[in-house]
């Protein structure tokens, strides 16, 4: 268990690592799902998987190439199948693509089989992060900031259905991972008490 966790957090992480449900991170591109998810998985001593990477490995194409070749609807259908397969694959930390949680069937499955964590970030934080990766197909527009703002307007009300909400901001990933562990522990205790 990591030295970055205090004794209570280490105990929570150990308990959570033995739990039955996967932890699924949702949120917009740039929210930190992959970076924080990897660290969270280490702390919980669970496998980590990124749905975009799984899709790219299966298709032998990048997400941007899949969007270009088949369009967003076909990509989203593939994404839903990948998420369903992963959730059935045992306890792990899963980082989803930004649009995965928008699918009603995916949300329903995740509610039943996992604990969902929304990594919520403000527009400036998201823009700063996505500017480092110009391969985002949904941001290949004349006004990427406006596009991202529109995505926030459409998706944030849906992301708000997640079990837990964590503010993603420019702090060390250990800080956010620790906040997730603490929230997961509170969530588990509340469920056990009900």
Tokens at 89, concatenated:
């694959």
| 18 labeled binding residue | no
In order of 3, 14, 19, 181, the CA distances from 10 in angstroms are 9, 6, 14, 9
| 116 labeled binding residue | no
| 106 labeled binding residue | no
| 27 labeled binding residue | no
How many CA atoms lie less than 13 Å away from 139 in the CB half-sphere? 19
| 125 labeled binding residue | no
| 163 labeled binding residue | no
Name the nearest CA neighbour of 26 among 93, 78, 85. 93
Alpha-carbon span 57 to 101, nearest angstrom:
21
* Under 8 Å between Cβ of 130 and 148: yes
Residue where the block lists tokens 């194409």? 61
- Residue 32 CA to its chain's centroid (Å): 8
| 14 labeled binding residue | no
| 178 labeled binding residue | no
* Under 8 Å between Cβ of 120 and 156: yes
| 37 labeled binding residue | no
Name the nearest CA neighbour of 98 among 106, 108, 90, 86. 106
Sequence ranges of the binding site for substrate: 52, 76, 98, 155
Sequence ranges of the binding site for Mg(2+): 34
Sequence ranges of the binding site: 30-35, 52, 76, 98, 136, 155
Sequence ranges of the binding site for ATP: 30-35, 136
């Amino acid at each position: 268990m990591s030295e970055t966790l205090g004794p209570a957090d280490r105990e929570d992480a150990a308990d959570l690592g033995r739990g039955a449900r996967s932890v699924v991170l949702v949120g917009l591109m740039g929210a930190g799902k992959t970076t924080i998810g990897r660290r969270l998985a280490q702390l919980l001593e669970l496998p980590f998987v990124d749905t975009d990477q799984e899709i790219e490995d299966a298709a032998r194409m990048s997400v941007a190439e899949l969007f270009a070749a088949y369009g967003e609807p076909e990509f989203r259908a593939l994404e839903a199948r990948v998420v369903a397969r992963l959730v059935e694959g045992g306890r792990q930390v899963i980082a989803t693509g930004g649009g995965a949680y928008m699918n009603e069937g995916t949300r329903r499955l995740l509610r039943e089989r996992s604990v969902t964590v929304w990594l919520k970030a403000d527009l400036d934080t998201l823009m700063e992060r996505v500017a480092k990766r110009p391969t985002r197909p949904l941001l290949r527009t004349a006004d990427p900031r406006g596009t991202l703002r529109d995505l926030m307007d459409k998706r944030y009300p849906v992301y708000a259905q997640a079990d837990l909400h964590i503010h993603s901001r420019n702090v060390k990933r250990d800080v956010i991972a620790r906040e997730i562990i603490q929230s997961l522990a509170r969530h588990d205790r509340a469920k056990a008490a009900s």
